[in-house]
């Protein structure tokens, strides 16, 4: 089992239908979902943050950074 987690929940994330913690049977499934989420959030959220995926052991973390 692989866990996908949001590092921080910004206001746009809280208003979305996304879940902050999800589990997947395989790493490939988790990476696919994380990639879709990051693309959607980077394109459709308010643009105050940038989202990217990072691996930390048996977890995938969607990192949240302020846009410069």
pLDDT tens-digit series, residues 27-39: 999 999 999 999 9
Any idea where the domains of the chain sit in the sequence? 2-66
C-alpha 28/C-alpha 43 separation (Å) is 23
pTM of the model: 0.92
* C-alpha to C-alpha distances, 55 to 4, 6, 11, 15, 42, nearest whole angstrom: 9, 12, 24, 25, 19
d(CA 14, CA 10): 6
pLDDT score of 5 more than 80: yes
* pLDDT attached to residue 40: 97
């Amino acid at each position: 089992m692989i866990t996908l987690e949001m590092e921080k929940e910004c206001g746009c994330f809280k208003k979305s239908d996304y879940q902050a913690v999800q589990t997947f049977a395989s790493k490939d499934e988790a990476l696919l979902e994380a990639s879709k989420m990051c693309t959607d959030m980077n394109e459709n959220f308010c643009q105050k943050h940038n989202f990217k995926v990072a691996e930390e052991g048996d977890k995938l973390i969607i990192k949240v950074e302020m846009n410069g």
